[in-house]
Structure 1
Amino acid sequence: MKPEEIIGYVDGLDGVLTVQPSEGDGTPELAWGDTFFYYAPDGVMPTNTQPFATIVTKNYPGDELSRLDRPDVFRVNIAAGKDNFVKWTGHAPRDTPAGEVDYSAFDTLMPHPVYGTVGWLAVVNPGPRTEADTRELLHTACELARARYERRNG
């Protein structure tokens, strides 16, 4: 899967706002080139919520284990929620075994190297082994975000 394919898929889900920071739009330079997906049926950037998924193309400070500094490497990050996290990893988010995950492995569904403890999953360069699972998880993450939005907004 290429980032453009993932963006097209998620952007096609109902109520999704896709944000792609770039130079001149007031966003921090570090975020330029990355993609953030929000559930925002009104099309307005939410101020009180995190994205339900992201695509990052570079290392962030404190988040270098995926080695995104390699050419053509990106990572899809998904707020899977506790139940889906357990389903896909076999353990609770807070029980991720230290040192037992190769966070730089391609096409492998894994706990997020930083946010795994709060139920986020990640895939570096999703490919044939993880494409269907990645799409399913992105759809589910969007539905979870929709449910949170509806609870907050009546």
Structure 2
Amino acid sequence: MEIHDIIDRIGALDGVLVLTPGPGDGSPEIAWGDVFFYYAPDGTVPHTQPFATIVTKDYPDDDVSRLDRPGAFRLNIAAGAERFREWAGTAPTDAADVLFPHPVYGALHWLSVVNPGPRTSEAVGDLLISAHRLARERADRHARRGRPDTH
């Protein structure tokens, strides 16, 4: 899977807002080139974490995936506790096309995969749908309570 394939796949889900920070938009420079996916049917960035991200470079304290290699990127998915437990048996890795707990946010039930491909394609698709559903359900709960979507 290429980054644009993932963006198209997630962006096609109902109510998804895709943010790609870049120069001039007020985002921090370190985020430029990365992609953030929110459940936001009104098109407004919610006051919550995205349900998936694509990072294209190493961040401070997050370099285990070695994203400094040409063409390397990592898809991160807020899997939720139940789905996380299904996949959390492997240690953080820089190997391509392998699901593993996020090197920093694994304790918050995030899963990651460097350069997703044929081995993880089906699981990634299923996990993204699940993460989208969880984000939608969270937003719906907050809307019923009359509060903005926050963690």
TM range (shorter): over 0.9
2:53 and 2:6 map into 1 onto residues whose CA distance is 10
TM-score between both structures, scaled by the size of structure 1: 0.91
* Structure-to-structure mapping, 1:3-152, within 5 angstroms: 3-46=3-46, 48-90=47-89, 101-152=91-142
Q: Measure, in 2, the Cα distance between the counterparts of 1:49 and 1:37.
A: 11
Q: CA shift at 1:50, angstroms?
A: 0.4
By how many angstroms is 1:103 displaced?
1.7
* Separation in 2, partners of 1:12, 1:107: 22
Structure 1 residues 24 and 144 mapped into 2: Cα distance closer, same or farther (>3 Å)?
same
Alpha-carbon displacement from aligned partner over 1:5-47 (angstroms, at most 9, x marks no partner) = 000000000010000001111110000000000000101111x
What root-mean-square deviation, in Å, do the aligned CA atoms of Structure 1 and Structure 2 show? 1.0
- Percent of aligned pairs with the same amino acid: 58
The answer for unaligned runs of 5 or more in structure 2 is 145-151
| Matched letter for residue 129 of structure 1 | R
What letter is aligned with 2:9? Y
1:153 and 2:146 are equivalent in the alignment? no
Does structure 1 conserve the Cα–Cα contact (< 8 Å) formed by 2:51 and 2:132? yes
What stretches of structure 1 move > 3 A for 4+ residues in a row? none
Secondary structure at the aligned position of 2:103 is classed as: coil
Is this contact kept in 1: 2:92–2:102, CA < 8 A?
Answer: no
Q: Cα offset for 1:75?
A: 0.1
TM-score when scaled to structure 2?
0.93
Can you give the 5+ residue segments of structure 1 that lack an aligned partner in the other structure?
91-99
How far apart in 1 are the matches of 2:108 and 2:28? Answer: 24
Instruction: Compute the displacement of 1:136 (Å).
Output: 0.9
